[in-house]
Amino acid sequence: MNLVDRLRQKLNIGNELYRAALAELFCTGFLLFGGCSVNAQFILSQRRTNEWVCVAVGWGMVLLFAVQMGFRISGAHLNPAVSFFLFTQGKINALRFIVFVVAQNIGAFFGALSTFIVYYDAISHFDNGTRYVSGPRATANIFATYPQPHLSTFGGVIDQVAGTAVLCLGVAAITDRRNRIPPFLQPSFIGVLLGVLGMMLAMNAGYAINPARDFGPRLFTLCAGYGWRVFR
């Protein structure tokens, strides 16, 4: 038995729900670390490093790998909206839904923290050490999404409902056995789906379409010194 096998045996968790929750936490953290880092390159380089299409594709590719890592352990929901959708379909029970939502939000928080640590010097150079939520030196939008000035409250609700609905319906179609998409290909299709959504629905409010992706990093920015403005 090699070192990796011995380590796997020692770290083996017998409780299936605990294993699934840890998978959701870790994979959501990976998604947010990768996605927020894509945002960081786009914003901190003043849009010289990436074009918006690269941001959408980057998020999609990160999701592909995040889903692949947890797919056979928890189903890799990585999104309370997806977990709720599956709960309403009777595919997971209430306890699993609650545990997954908590794990996803914790993972998202630490994913944002990881990006902040990696890009701390660049962020401080960009905003001169003052954490802005809006304006030309804003860096809060590396971590969470914010509506454009033209967007009304009603328009924002419609925007998020539409994006989340497309995501959930797309995931349902991809994972539906009747469509006969091989399981090993499903993460790739889900990643492509997110990339397409980024090119479809990002203009109004950044296509959060994921309560954990929004709340976890937003809570982190509050703790990191951006103030309560992040919730306004």
Share of the chain above pLDDT 90, in %: 76
Confidence at residue 2, expressed as pLDDT on a 0 to 100 scale = 62
> Which tens digit of pLDDT belongs to each residue from 28-69?
999 999 999 999 999 998 866 567 888 999 999 999 999 999
Grouping H, G, I as helix, E, B as strand and the rest as coil, residue 66 is helix
Task: Calculate the average pLDDT of the chain.
Answer: 91
**Closest C-alpha to 215, from 231, 228, 226, 229:** 231
CB 131 within 8 A of CB 140: yes
pTM over 0.85: yes
Domains in the chain, ordered, with CATH?
15-231 (1.20.1080.10)
CA torsion sign, 60 to 66 to 72 to 77? negative
> Is the separation of the CB atoms in 213 and 66 below 8 Å?
no
Least confidently predicted of 13-17, 142-146, 223-227: 13-17
Q: Is the pLDDT of residue 133 over 70?
A: yes
Tokens 């999404």 -> residue: 145
Q: Are 131 and 225 in contact (CB under 8 A)?
A: yes
Higher-pLDDT residue of 117 and 183 is 117
CA pair distance 82, 92, nearest whole angstrom: 11
Q: Lowest-pLDDT range, 59-68, 182-191, 201-210?
A: 201-210
Give the pLDDT band of residue 187 (cuts 50, 70, 90): very high
For residue 48, how far is the Cα from the chain centroid? 24
Tens-digit pLDDT profile for residues 154-171? 999 999 999 999 999 999
User: Distances in Å between the alpha carbon of 232 and those of 20, 27, 95, 149?
Assistant: 34, 28, 31, 13
- Residue 10: pLDDT over 70: no
